[in-house]
Amino acid sequence: MRFHIQQESDIPASTQLYNQICFAIAARHYPPGHRLPSTRQLAMQTGLHRNTISKVYRQLETDGVVEAMAGSGIYVRDQQNPREIKPPPGLRSKALPDIDREVRQSVDGLLNAGCTLQQARELLTREIDWRLRCGARVLVSTSREDIGASILIAEELKPSLEVPVEVVPIEELESVLETSSKGTVVTSRYFLQEVEQIAKVHGVRAVPVDLNDFGHELGMLKELRPGSCVGLVSISPGILRAAEVILHSMRGNELLVMTANPDTSSRLLALLRASSHVICDKPSLPLVEQTLRQNRAQLMRLPMVHCAQSYLGSATIDQLRKEIGLLAA
């Protein structure tokens, strides 16, 4: 896989490379155990200084995405082996009085409900063990046909969760949970019923995440004059289908809507030629920009490109953190 750095982009080159490597790993272009290109190879491919690439690799290692092996290289980390998470310095000393009070109140509540101390300990231990299992890792699962939806969800969860996040197609979920049933399975509500049936067999929690309402993007589309051509580009076929339905319900036949997966170069180019406005997700943006740059001479005019900054709803990540015990309820 080749990485492309957009020199004219407002996004720092190191961030572009970091995001592209994460996407390649999430999309399984680089499976667990795969050796990443050396800093020298990436420098030749991207034009970046080797120190910049080393900095990106160090950040990937800090985030638990890769691991460095002395004298050997940088390898994609096996996300089924959770890394040790250290609490922020000073957290315990600041929070200890409140935590002690909460613990006492919880125990008092159980005793007032008629539990013995032994029963209270068993109930609390059972709940803690359950949350430890749920918080061991997060498996993001949608069908293989719409694995792009899983990649979009995983990319937004990774920076906010202190546990490994792995993309697993529903078709492979059964075999993955047979190997280890620790963790929480996350999916969109469209696939929830199918995922729940598999998760229930293995005693694993299945949690749906809510998508962004895309209010900003819909507001833009409401203002377009009739007859405008809108291009939608996403790695998720599901989000493209849903967007077409929403646009038709909102504007009827006033707008001409075209859709494309960024990997389908011919369809993407046709969309960019015809559209006055293009809306894409973050993983698609580099390919949209690259196609525009490479074919600028063939385009009568450049479309206005808008990148949707968020795929998930603003509150859904915090809710998931509560579900798997990373935040106090």
**How would residue 329 be classed by pLDDT, with cut points 50, 70 and 90?**
very low
In this prediction, residue 237 carries a pLDDT of 93
**How would residue 131 be classed by pLDDT, with cut points 50, 70 and 90?**
low
Q: What is the pLDDT of residues 12-31, one digit of tens each?
A: 889 889 888 887 887 778 88
146 has pLDDT over 90: yes
Please work out, in degrees rounded to the nearest 5, the angle formed at the alpha carbon of residue 210 by the alpha carbons of 80 and 238: 85
* DSSP secondary structure, 248-297, as one string: HHHHTTSSEEEEE-TT-HHHHHHHHHH-SEEEE-GGGHHHHHHHHHHTGG
Global pTM?
A: 0.58
Fold agreement (11-74, 213-305): no
Neighbours of 293 (CB within 10 A): 12
Overall fold of domain 136-210+315-322: Rossmann fold (3.40.50)
In this prediction, residue 248 carries a pLDDT of 87
Q: How far apart are CA 57 and CA 43, in angstroms?
A: 13
**How would residue 130 be classed by pLDDT, with cut points 50, 70 and 90?**
low
In this prediction, residue 86 carries a pLDDT of 45
191 has pLDDT over 80: yes
Question: CATH number of the domain at 213-305, please?
Answer: 3.40.50.980
Q: Which residue has the tokens 């979009």?
A: 152
Q: How far apart are CA 11 and CA 307, in angstroms?
A: 12
Mean pLDDT of 104-122: 84
272 token code pair: 């960019």
In this prediction, residue 326 carries a pLDDT of 54
Overall fold of domain 11-74: Arc Repressor Mutant, subunit A (1.10.10)
Name the percent of the chain lying above pLDDT 90.
Answer: 37
In this prediction, residue 133 carries a pLDDT of 55
Cα 21 to Cα 1, 57, 60, 66, 167, distances in angstroms: 10, 9, 9, 10, 15
In this prediction, residue 129 carries a pLDDT of 61
91 token code pair: 């957290």
In this prediction, residue 91 carries a pLDDT of 45
Q: Hey, where are the domains in the chain?
A: 11-74, 102-131, 136-210+315-322, 213-305
Q: Name the residue among 158, 203, 153 with its Cα closest to residue 182.
A: 203
In this prediction, residue 197 carries a pLDDT of 93
116 has pLDDT over 50: yes
254 has pLDDT over 90: yes
Most confident of 20-34, 261-275, 312-326: 261-275
